[in-house]
């Protein structure tokens, strides 16, 4: 027989169920065997069933509905293992706490943050506590079941939100990368356009400097020519003035 994986939740001894009998429980959980455990050759026989009253039968049915039996196959044989319906003692609760701490250390669970191992172990511990309570009071067990399901739904909702946020972040990152490439191309085109404008500006500045230099030289030539003309006119004016004064003087004499 392939033994089930170790769990904090207590189970009864496994029971061999014939596949042809159709006794497979619809509420049973499919179970994967841990590879670290060594197989046994023969199963432990189940304990004898005791005659129970209606309330105890009802509590056992509620317990099996809250914590369904686990099932696994070995060849053509089907094994079913139900949770234990034996009442727990204070010593067993203390042992459960110690076993939880031991498993946390053995499996190197993280003390803080998100840790699937720690979550799994605490989930098993909570199921075991639900089993304890359900045996004594089925109503309390059903209430704890609602609490457990609510916790699972909340965690699933947070996980969905986290996955959605990660997907949203990835989409935004891809969009930003795509937009970054387009922006880099646009920047490169603007840089080329800028360089072209700078080149045109330098050409226009060179032309402007050449025009200013040429105009300055032309202005100097024109000013010199104008100065020479003025000087010539002044000399002619002075000569005419001298001649006029000589004529006037000669007439007075």
Q: Tell me the per-residue pLDDT of 60-85, one tens digit each, with 9 for 90 and over.
A: 788 888 888 888 887 788 888 888 88
Q: Cα separation of 37 and 201, whole Å? A: 83
* Residues 130, 131, 134: CA angle, nearest 5 degrees: 80
10 closest CA partner among 89, 113, 102, 115: 89
Residue 141 is predicted with a pLDDT of 87
Residue 57 is predicted with a pLDDT of 57
The kind and range of the H/E element at 81 are: strand 77-81
In this predicted structure, the answer to whether residue 125 has a pLDDT above a threshold of 70 is yes
- Rounded to an integer, the average pLDDT of 114-134 is 89
Rg of the Cα atoms in the chain? 52
User: 217 vs 43, which has greater pLDDT?
Assistant: 217
Q: What is the 3-state secondary structure (H, E, C) of 88-102?
A: CCHHHHHHHHHHHHH
Alpha helices in 24-137 (DSSP H): 54-66, 90-106, 116-136
In this predicted structure, the answer to whether residue 56 has a pLDDT above a threshold of 70 is no
1, 79 contact by CB (below 8 A): yes
Residue 177 is predicted with a pLDDT of 80
In this predicted structure, the answer to whether residue 251 has a pLDDT above a threshold of 80 is no
In this predicted structure, the answer to whether residue 55 has a pLDDT above a threshold of 70 is no
In this predicted structure, the answer to whether residue 51 has a pLDDT above a threshold of 60 is no
Q: Tell me the per-residue pLDDT of 179-193, one tens digit each, with 9 for 90 and over.
A: 788 888 889 999 999
What angle, rounded to 10 degrees, do the helices at 116-136 and 138-252 form? 150
| pLDDT band with cut points at 50, 70 and 90 for residue 18 | low
Residue 40 is predicted with a pLDDT of 37
The kind and range of the H/E element at 150 are: helix 138-252
Q: Cα separation of 92 and 76, whole Å? A: 36
Residue in the block written with tokens 């457990």: 148
13, 55 contact by CB (below 8 A): no
Q: Cα separation of 41 and 44, whole Å? A: 10
Q: Tell me the per-residue pLDDT of 155-173, one tens digit each, with 9 for 90 and over.
A: 899 989 989 999 998 888 8
In this predicted structure, the answer to whether residue 240 has a pLDDT above a threshold of 80 is yes
For residue 239, the Cα-to-chain-centroid distance in whole angstroms is 104
- Rounded to an integer, the average pLDDT of 216-223 is 90
């Amino acid at each position: 027989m392939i033994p089930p994986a170790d769990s904090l939740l207590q189970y009864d001894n496994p029971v061999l169920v014939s596949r042809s009998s159709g006794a497979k429980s619809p509420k049973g959980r499919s179970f994967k065997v841990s590879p670290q455990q060594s197989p046994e050759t023969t199963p432990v026989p189940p304990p004898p069933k005791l005659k129970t009253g209606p309330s105890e039968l009802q509590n056992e049915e509620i317990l099996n509905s809250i914590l369904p039996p686990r099932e696994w196959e070995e060849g053509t044989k089907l094994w079913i293992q139900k949770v234990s319906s034996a009442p727990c003692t204070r010593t067993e609760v203390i042992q459960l706490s110690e076993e939880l701490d031991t498993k946390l250390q053995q499996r190197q669970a993280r003390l803080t943050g998100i840790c699937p191992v720690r979550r799994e172990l605490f989930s098993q511990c909570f199921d075991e506590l639900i089993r304890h309570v359900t045996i004594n009071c089925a109503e309390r067990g059903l209430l704890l079941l609602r609490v457990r399901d609510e916790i699972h739904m909340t965690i699933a909702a947070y996980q969905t939100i986290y996955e959605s946020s990660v997907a949203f972040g990835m989409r935004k990152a891809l969009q930003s990368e795509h937009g970054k490439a387009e922006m880099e191309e646009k920047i490169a085109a603007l840089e080329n356009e800028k360089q072209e404008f700078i080149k045109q500006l330098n050409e226009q500045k060179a032309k402007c400097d050449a025009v200013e230099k040429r105009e300055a030289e032309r202005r100097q030539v024109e000013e010199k020519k104008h100065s020479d003309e003025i000087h010539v006119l002044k000399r002619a004016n002075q000569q005419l003035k001298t001649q006029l004064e000589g004529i006037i003087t000669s007439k007075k004499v």
